[in-house]
Amino acid sequence: MSADTDTITQAAPTGVEPPARNRESRSAAVLALARFEARELLLQIPVLLFLALYVGYTGWRLFLGGEGMDDFPILQEVDRNTQQAPLLPAIAVFVCVNRAVLRSRRQSTDQNFDILPMEHWRRTVAHALSVLPFAAITAIVVGFQYTWAALKPGAVGHGSPAELVVGPLLVLLAGVLGVLLARVIPVGFVAPPFVIGAFVLSTLVSALTQGKHWVRWLGPVVTEEGASPFPSELLGRPAAWHALYLVGLVVLLLCVAVLVSGGRTRLVKAVTALALAATAVGVTGQSPDVPASLVEARTEASVSPEKEQTCVRHGRSTYCAFPEWSGRTADWAEAVDRIQSRAGGSAGGERLTVRQRIDARDGLESDAAISPSTTSGHVTVGTRWGGNRLPEFAVGVASVLVTGTEEEAGRVCDARVVTTMWLALSAQPDPMRSLRDVRLDDSIKGSAVALAPTGPVSMSAQQTTVVRELLQKPHYSVAAKVKAHWTELTSPKTPTARVAELLGVPVSGKGTAADSGSGSCEE
């Protein structure tokens, strides 16, 4: 009897699917629709185009851009540099997801959904999930960009995972916002004007609030650029709070879209409350301005960097750097040795102190100039390295060897500029290109100023001509003359014509007032 009963029980159809299996089938249907919509998005021309632009632009910056400075990346800068480019795929995803949600309305098939087993709100969830592959692509590009920089031999600093997730979260946020906009305003051509309006509104709000800290951090991307790179502990960016804010905002907007679509289940309401709480906590955490302790730490690092730095000796000189840059002192020493080997007199054996300096007192967006050191034999080096920073550092080293201090070098308008520039640039792999790079007008003719870590060096047209001629000669032949006439070449009373004569460069005309030690920089 029991066996027959078991057989009947197993064979008899119930007519109703068990609740667990029913939930599984609904979830599978949502995922299947999400996969279909993701494929449809990938076939949209705007998405393909903007994804290609994003990947291409990132690749160009990695392999061709940066003017040499990306050869020595600073990881707390690299992580922030991954945040703006994802705006390209984010805009495309926003517009195309919005159109995908409204497809049935454009094709007048909305009424057919009423006879399908999948509820309206589950379709909303599926459209939101279709954005996940594009956020994953963005995460892969961001991860590759950061890993490429971190594996370079000259990389320094520490990146932040909270900064790196901003790009993928931006794409997710754009997609979910596109879904919500379609459910709230079911009009076909609302997405492009919405993008323009959002940009205008954000610009207007920023102008009216004068860029207040808490207002700026309500936006999805806050890069804060302008200043030279800071040590990690001086950044003061609420990156973790901002990441929490973005995650909460993504989930909150999705829940609102589901609620608008009719999905008012207990689970949706609970997740909505949790997302709202997370968003509020993130906003609260990121809103406070720079704390007093950070202001004090930035001031101390700017005014008394020696309290924070580690000093090592390479050869005869000492090199002091912030802890994250301590591995770069050997590169500085190599550059100093090349320059000093060409100097004459006591400068050839002088014990220099090369110290890394920043001005962090006005924050991450203030490009404040570093004041020249008044201490004899002290040379300033910045936190960037590579590209034009190499000849600029060389000019700073040569200036101190010729004049004694950075402060004095900033006042030089006489013929000592010729010796300074030859010492600095003859040690570079391509002296003529370095001359062009280090001058503010990117030229090798006429008067101009040459950049250095703490201030420019003024060059008259005649001095530029002499330097250009010297750089075209073999450096060993000029070096012998520089060492033999070092005292006269580094005297403020020696005119440019006499310097040219000592170094074997023919020039026309007499020394000008600028070359005679009068202190005037005019020709």
More confident residue, 307 or 209: 307
Kindly state whether residues 97 and 159 are assigned to the same domain.
Answer: yes
Q: What is the pLDDT of residue 516?
A: 43
In the chain, the percentage of residues whose pLDDT exceeds 90 is 74
Per the CB < 8 A criterion, the answer to whether 172 and 250 are in contact is: yes
Kindly state whether residues 242 and 317 are assigned to the same domain.
Answer: no
Kindly state whether residues 462 and 314 are assigned to the same domain.
Answer: yes
Residue 378, beta-bridge partner list: 353
Average pLDDT over residues 226-231: 92
Tens digits of residue pLDDT in 412-426: 889 999 999 999 999
Confidence bin at 23 (pLDDT 50/70/90): low
Kindly state whether residues 105 and 195 are assigned to the same domain.
Answer: yes
Kindly state whether residues 277 and 305 are assigned to the same domain.
Answer: no
Q: Does the residue 520 lie in any domain?
A: no
Q: Does the residue 119 lie in any domain?
A: yes
Average pLDDT over residues 343-372: 92
Alpha-carbon span 108 to 98, nearest angstrom: 16
Kindly state whether residues 341 and 261 are assigned to the same domain.
Answer: no
Average pLDDT over residues 466-475: 93
Q: Does the residue 464 lie in any domain?
A: yes
Joined tokens for residue 132: 């996940």
How many Cβ atoms from other residues are within 10 Å of residue 115's Cβ? 6
Of 131-135, 225-229, 269-273, 398-402, the poorest mean pLDDT is in 225-229
Q: Does the residue 63 lie in any domain?
A: yes
CA 471 to chain centroid:
35
pLDDT at 358 over 90: yes
Of 138-147, 197-206, 264-273, the poorest mean pLDDT is in 197-206
Contacts 24+ apart (CB under 8 A), 366-369: 366/226, 366/227, 367/226, 367/227, 367/228, 368/227, 369/454, 369/455
Phi, psi of 407 (to 5 degrees): -65, -45
Q: Does the residue 86 lie in any domain?
A: yes
Alpha helices in 261-388 (DSSP H): 266-286, 292-303, 329-340
Of 16-30, 93-107, 400-414, 427-441, the poorest mean pLDDT is in 16-30
Kindly state whether residues 419 and 447 are assigned to the same domain.
Answer: yes
Among 258, 289, 320, the domain boundary falls at 289
In the chain, the percentage of residues whose pLDDT exceeds 70 is 90
Amino acid at 201: L
Q: Does the residue 214 lie in any domain?
A: yes
Q: Does the residue 491 lie in any domain?
A: yes
Q: What is the pLDDT of residue 62?
A: 86
Kindly state whether residues 236 and 341 are assigned to the same domain.
Answer: no
Average pLDDT over residues 457-469: 94
The closest of 257, 131, 250, 118 to 183, measured between CA atoms, is 257
Confidence bin at 519 (pLDDT 50/70/90): very low
Q: Which uninterrupted H or E stretch holds 34?
A: helix 19-42
Average pLDDT over residues 54-60: 93
Its domain, for residue 476, covers 299-503
Kindly state whether residues 307 and 433 are assigned to the same domain.
Answer: yes
Kindly state whether residues 317 and 216 are assigned to the same domain.
Answer: no
Confidence bin at 518 (pLDDT 50/70/90): very low
| Maximum mean pLDDT: which of 24-33, 65-74, 105-114, 458-467 | 458-467
Q: Does the residue 519 lie in any domain?
A: no
Alpha-carbon span 171 to 50, nearest angstrom: 12
Of 199-208, 366-375, 434-443, the poorest mean pLDDT is in 199-208
pLDDT at 18 over 60: no
170: CB partners within 8 A, 6+ apart: 83, 86, 87, 90, 138, 220, 221, 246
The structure's pTM equals 0.88
| Maximum mean pLDDT: which of 19-33, 161-175, 362-376, 491-505 | 161-175
CA atoms within 13 Å, Cβ hemisphere of 166: 26
Average pLDDT over residues 313-337: 95
Kindly state whether residues 277 and 334 are assigned to the same domain.
Answer: no
Q: What is the pLDDT of residue 429?
A: 92
Q: What is the pLDDT of residue 208?
A: 81
Among 236, 261, 289, the domain boundary falls at 289
Among 259, 289, 319, the domain boundary falls at 289
Kindly state whether residues 238 and 365 are assigned to the same domain.
Answer: no
Domain count, the chain: 2
